Amino acid sequence: MPAIVIGRDFDDLKKYGEKGAIFFGKHIVGTGEDAHLTSPVLIDVLRPHVIAICGKRGQGKSYSMMIFLEELSKLPDEIRDNLCALVVDTQGIFWTMKSPNEQQISLLNEWGLKPRGFDVHVLIPEGQKEIFDKADVNYDDVFYIMPNELTPEDWLNVFELSPIETEGIVLQRALGKLMKDKKEYTIDDIINYLKEEKGFEREKLVVENYLLAAKQWGVFGPRKQTVSDLILQPGKMTILDVSITPQNVRSLVVGLLSKQILEERIKARRKEEAAKIEEIKIKRTPMCWILVDEAHNFVPAKGKTPSSDIFSKIVKEGRQPGITTLFATQRPNKLHPDVLAQCDLVISYRLTAKADIDALRAIMQTYVLFDIATYFNELPRVKGAGLILDDNSERIYRIRSRPRQSWHAGSSPVAI
Ligand SMILES: Nc1ncnc2c1ncn2[C@@H]1O[C@H](COP(=O)(O)OP(=O)(O)O)[C@@H](O)[C@H]1O
Ligand SMILES: [Mg+2]
């Protein structure tokens, strides 16, 4: 049966056929009891995309993120070496990708797939090593950032301070002076500069407390790490375990890394173009996938986090430098409208909240025949049954995602 290739335009389809399109699932034909699986559904990974995965809790969002990662890992070298990925793991569940899926062997059999583990690189915050060690959780490496990588606005955002309240003002003043004097600095340097500010003793004490607390986050390190070494390596699949990091600090770290990835890719793109013109070969910086679970916490519809701005920028400008973003959320309505508006691919498992269905309805515009609620109602009641909205072909497909080959740790526990 011929495959359905999603997210690929006609010219690319003619040129590449099914090459560089990953196996995501199968098309569902018929409704309710009569529903059955037909053609394979493939998704383009040669070009950058903005992808959203939504659905109620327990419907397969995190599971689907890992289907992408497994498939990226399985690509032939000549494609995989031009790609890499960063997965933001808010629950500490994705390291299990190293082990084979022994839980769903019969399902895998039905699909003609074999359980297997994959080579992924798990990063944890440097200052949390002891906690991970004590819990016997394996990781491959640590990451950290430098206080001087944060802008004054980042500090205000992460401490949830307003730039016009006194605490915000003294912090900005101290940082302003410090940044003039030093290129690299520690949190203690910030505290010292803060203390030198005149007056506002109470407010200074409050900010000092925030800064002392920041030392305990475990994300600050001794020198600058570069995303080129850490993440942007040919075929490297990185999992950033921020499961025990507070949410505003997660956004800060993820925002900083994403910003650096964008900057590196913009530089690389320029070099690639120059090399093309001069017809010389250069070492390529791989295009990067950034996959964010529980994404409504990173780019929320209401309010701002330290990663809001950079994600709004990447969804608008990231295609040119070759960045694909994938946002998984159970509340599409709570995701910033910029993100949904920029998505060219939406994978949606069952949703029930009216506001969330409305959010999807709004981005499906005019190209569907029936109301989206009808499509949901017609889905068979099996795990992984969902819809794919393809902006490229302006079509909607009912699909079932394929079973994972590696172990999934996200399922809810049972009491029996
Ligand atoms: N395509 C699929 N095939 C088989 N089982 C699936 C599929 N998708 C999800 N599941 C099952 O659903 C459970 C919940 O999926 P998960 O991705 O953790 O949910 P959430 O949407 O909350 O992130 C998984 O543990 C897995 O057993
Ligand atoms: Mg999940």
Per-residue pLDDT of the chain (416 residues; tens, 9 = 90+): 789 999 999 999 999 999 999 999 999 998 777 889 999 999 999 999 999 999 999 999 999 999 999 999 999 999 999 999 999 999 999 999 999 999 999 999 999 999 999 999 999 999 999 999 999 888 999 999 999 999 999 999 999 999 999 999 999 999 999 999 999 999 999 999 999 999 999 999 999 999 999 999 999 987 888 999 999 999 999 999 999 999 999 999 999 999 999 999 999 999 999 998 988 888 889 999 999 999 999 999 999 899 999 999 999 999 999 999 999 999 999 999 999 999 999 999 999 899 999 998 887 766 676 788 888 888 998 999 999 999 888 899 999 999 999 999 977 666 76
Stated pTM of the model: 0.95
Q: Which of 24, 349, 383 to mutate to test the pocket of ligand 1 (most atoms within 8 A of CB)?
A: 383
Q: For residue 33, is it left (φ>0), alpha (ψ between -120 and 50) or beta?
A: alpha
Q: For residue 7, is it left (φ>0), alpha (ψ between -120 and 50) or beta?
A: left
Query: Measured from the CB, is residue 101 less than 6 Å from ligand 1?
Result: no
Query: Measured from the CB, is residue 409 less than 6 Å from ligand 1?
Result: no
Structure tokens at 242: 């921020």
Q: Which of 327, 408, 414 to mutate to test the pocket of ligand 1 (most atoms within 8 A of CB)?
A: 408
pLDDT recorded at residue 34:
81
Query: Measured from the CB, is residue 60 less than 6 Å from ligand 1?
Result: yes
Query: Measured from the CB, is residue 329 less than 6 Å from ligand 1?
Result: no
Counting from 1 in the atom list of ligand 1, the atom nearest the Cα of 63 is: 17
pLDDT recorded at residue 416:
65
pLDDT recorded at residue 365:
65
Counting from 1 in the atom list of ligand 1, the atom nearest the Cα of 293 is: 23
Query: Measured from the CB, is residue 61 less than 6 Å from ligand 1?
Result: yes
User: How far, in Å, from the CA of 18 to the mean position of ligand 2?
Assistant: 29
Phi, psi of 363 (to 5 degrees): -90, -10
Query: Measured from the CB, is residue 337 less than 6 Å from ligand 1?
Result: no
Q: How far is CA 216 from CA 126, 153, 209, 210, 331, in A?
A: 11, 20, 11, 10, 31
Q: Are 242 and 258 in contact (CB under 8 A)?
A: no
pLDDT recorded at residue 366:
65
What are the structural domains, with CATH classification, of the chain?
4-144+222-401 (3.40.50.300), 147-215 (no CATH)
Counting from 1 in the atom list of ligand 1, the atom nearest the Cα of 57 is: 22
User: How far, in Å, from the CA of 182 to the mean position of ligand 1?
Assistant: 49
